[in-house]
Amino acid sequence: MATVSPTSKRAAFESISKSAIYKSKDEFYRMYNPPELWPAEKELSVSPSKTICRRVVLLFLILMVPVGSFSQSNQRNANPNDIAERIVGAAMTRGGAISFLEALTDTVGGRVTGSPESQAAAELILKALRDAGFDNAHFEEFSMSPTWRRGPASAWVVNQVKQSPVKQSLFIGSYGWSPGTQGRVEVPLVTVTATADGKLSKNPASLSGAAVLVTIEMGASANTFAADYVVMRSRTARQLASAGAVAMLIPSEKPDRMLYTSGAGIYPRAPLPMLSVAKEDTLYLRRLLAKGDVHIALDVQNTFDESQAKERNVIADLPGSSPENVVLVGAHFDSWDPAQGADDNGSGVAAVLEAARVLKSLNVKTKATIRFAFFSGEEQACLGSRAYIATHKNELDHLWAAIIMDNGALRPTGFSLHGRDDLEAALKQRLSPMSPFGAANILTGGDLYSDDETFVVAGVPSLSLEVVPSDYDNRHHTIIDTFDKIDPQALDLDTAALALASYYIANADQPLGRRLSSQEVDRLLKKTGQSEYVDLDFSTAEKQH
C-alpha cells in the first residue's frame, strides 16, 4: 500500500516536469535524488561508467581484507565496523536486489492477492531463499475470501452522441475489490462534496440511481492526511451506497491521464462500484455539467469468487545465539495489477531478499534471530501480516522489532517509529554507526503506511524505512509502476540500510523496547490520529492481546 494519499509527499518536487517520468535511468536518478537533498552522495548520480569504476574499486578494497578477518565474523560481536563495511560492500556491489526485481517483475508481473501471479511470486521468493542456503525457508499459509478479478471497465458520455456519431469515452478504472455494474447502465451524472465533518453537500435522495462524481474535502485540521483521506473515502462510499447511487467516481490525482487503484478501507467488498476517473476526464465532465445535465454509460465487469482461497507468506530465519528473540525484516510481495508492482512493493521484496542473502553469505552472527518475512495480502488490509500475528501470537513478547520497507526504491534516510517516542533513544543508540551511511535519521511520526500497521496494533516495536521525497506518489498504484523506473543504486542503498539496521538491532544485548499493552496501543493510535484508519480493518478482538 505505502502512501495512499494523493499529493502527500511531493511538495519538494512540485516543479518537476511531468514529462520527466519518461526519461532515461540516469535522468530518473537525478530526478529522484536531487543533489540538494543528497549533497554528500552526489557522485552516485554520475554516468554508469564512473559508477562501475567506483564499484570495482570498492570490490577491490573488500577483496583486500585479509581472509582471517572474515572468519572473525563467525563470532558474535566481532568488530562491528568490519562487519558493517562488508555488509554495505556486498549490498552495493553484487546487484542482487535489482536482478531479483527484474525476475519478479518480468517473469511474474502484477501480483493481485489470490491470483496465480501471487502464487508464482511466493514460489520465486522461496526458491531464491533456498538457493541462498536458507534451509528453514518455508511458506505459512492462510485463508482469504473473497478473491476478486478485474474485468473490463468502460464509460462514455451518452447525451453527446444522441444526434451525432461522436462517442466521448472516459478513462476510468476500478478500485480493488469493487463490484461491477450489472451490465451496461445509463445514468445521470451528479457531483457531491464530502466534507471533513462527515456530511454530504447534497440530499442523499438526489443521488439515488446516479453516478456520483465526488470531491473529498479534507479540512484544515487533518494532520494525518493519508489515513484521514482513506477514512473519508470509505465513509463516503458507504453513504453513497445507502443513498442508492449506482457508482462512485473518484477523480484521480495522477498526471497524464493516469488512473489510480486501491483496496484501502474497502476490503472485503466495496459497497458500490468505486471508479477512478482520470483528472483530464474529470475536468471535461465538470465543463459539461456547467452547461447542463449529463448522462453517462458505465459497463464494469468485475467478479468475486466467494470460495476460500489460500495465500502464503514466505518466512526464513538467520538464527541468533538467543533464537527465541526475533527481529523481523519484511515487505509485502502482493501488488496491484495495472502494472508490474515494481516499486510497490517489488522493491521492498528485492531489498529484504538481498539483505537476507548478504547477511547469510557473510555468515553474520547476532544475538536475536533475524527473520525475513515476505507478506501477501497487504493491499487487502494487511491480510498476510495479520495472519503472521495470529500464527505467532505466543512469540510476540520476544519480537524485538518489525522493520518494514514499503516506500519505494529511493535513497534511505532512516526509520520512522509510528509514534513510539519511548523507542527513540534506544534506536538512536543502535543506529548511530549508520550515521556516516546517511540512514540513521529517526522520525517519531505516527502515519501507518503498510504492514507496519499490523505490528503497531500488536504492540510490537515497529520501524518503517524512510526515503527521500520523490514523485513516487505519481507512479504509486498506476500503470507506470514498472521495472524501468527503479534505480538500482538506490535499491542497493535500501538493501544495505535494512541489513545494517537489522544487524545492529538484533545484535544488541537488550530488546529495542517493550511490547505495548492493548490499552497503550489504543492511546498511541489516538495520539497519532490513526484510530479510525485502523478501525476500518482491524476487529476489536485483534486489538486485544
Residues that bind Zn ion (CB under 5 A): 1-2, 344-345, 406
- C-alpha cell of residue 368: 536475536
- CB-nearer residue toward Zn ion: 281 or 406: 406
> At closest approach, how far in Å is the CB of 391 from Zn ion?
21
At 101, give phi and psi (nearest 5°). -60, -35
- CB-nearer residue toward Zn ion: 157 or 351: 351
> At closest approach, how far in Å is the CB of 534 from Zn ion?
17
Report cis status (omega within 30 of 0) of the bond before 146. Answer: yes
> At closest approach, how far in Å is the CB of 476 from Zn ion?
8
Kind of pairing, strands 399-404 and 326-332? Answer: parallel
> At closest approach, how far in Å is the CB of 349 from Zn ion?
10
Question: Rounded to whole angstroms, how far apart are CA atoms 94 and 492?
Answer: 9
For residues 104 and 110, the answer to whether their CB atoms sit within 8 Å is: no
- CB-nearer residue toward Zn ion: 2 or 216: 2
> At closest approach, how far in Å is the CB of 331 from Zn ion?
8
For residues 373 and 332, the answer to whether their CB atoms sit within 8 Å is: no
> At closest approach, how far in Å is the CB of 406 from Zn ion?
4
Which residues have a Cβ under 8 Å from the Cβ of 118 and sit 6 or more positions away? 111, 112, 311, 333, 334, 376
Question: Rounded to whole angstroms, how far apart are CA atoms 125 and 101?
Answer: 10
For residues 407 and 465, the answer to whether their CB atoms sit within 8 Å is: yes
Which residues have a Cβ under 8 Å from the Cβ of 309 and sit 6 or more positions away? 114, 143, 144, 145, 147
- CB-nearer residue toward Zn ion: 416 or 507: 416
- C-alpha cell of residue 392: 505467532
> At closest approach, how far in Å is the CB of 518 from Zn ion?
26
- CB-nearer residue toward Zn ion: 344 or 473: 344
- C-alpha cell of residue 2: 505505502
| H helix intervals, 316-471 | 347-361, 383-391, 424-431, 452-457
Task: Please name every residue paired with 144 in a beta bridge, in sequence order, or none if there are none.
Answer: 309
For residues 399 and 460, the answer to whether their CB atoms sit within 8 Å is: yes
One-letter amino acid identity for 91?
Answer: A
> At closest approach, how far in Å is the CB of 255 from Zn ion?
20
For residues 363 and 122, the answer to whether their CB atoms sit within 8 Å is: no
For residues 409 and 481, the answer to whether their CB atoms sit within 8 Å is: no
- CB-nearer residue toward Zn ion: 117 or 344: 344
| H helix intervals, 362-451 | 383-391, 424-431
Return the number of other C-beta atoms located less than 10 Å from residue 408's C-beta: 31
> At closest approach, how far in Å is the CB of 382 from Zn ion?
10
- CB-nearer residue toward Zn ion: 2 or 92: 2
Question: Rounded to whole angstroms, how far apart are CA atoms 535 and 2?
Answer: 18
One-letter amino acid identity for 437?
Answer: F
> At closest approach, how far in Å is the CB of 1 from Zn ion?
4
| H helix intervals, 65-176 | 67-72, 80-93, 96-103, 116-131
Question: Rounded to whole angstroms, how far apart are CA atoms 510 and 505?
Answer: 9
> At closest approach, how far in Å is the CB of 409 from Zn ion?
12
> At closest approach, how far in Å is the CB of 496 from Zn ion?
21
Burial degree of 71 (CB within 10 A; 0-12, 13-18, 19+): exposed
- CB-nearer residue toward Zn ion: 2 or 501: 2
- C-alpha cell of residue 163: 444526434
Question: Rounded to whole angstroms, how far apart are CA atoms 534 and 515?
Answer: 18
| H helix intervals, 340-382 | 347-361
Report cis status (omega within 30 of 0) of the bond before 273. Answer: no
- CB-nearer residue toward Zn ion: 372 or 503: 372
> At closest approach, how far in Å is the CB of 477 from Zn ion?
9
- CB-nearer residue toward Zn ion: 255 or 346: 346
- CB-nearer residue toward Zn ion: 177 or 504: 177
- CB-nearer residue toward Zn ion: 464 or 528: 464
Return the number of other C-beta atoms located less than 10 Å from residue 30's C-beta: 15
- CB-nearer residue toward Zn ion: 381 or 516: 381
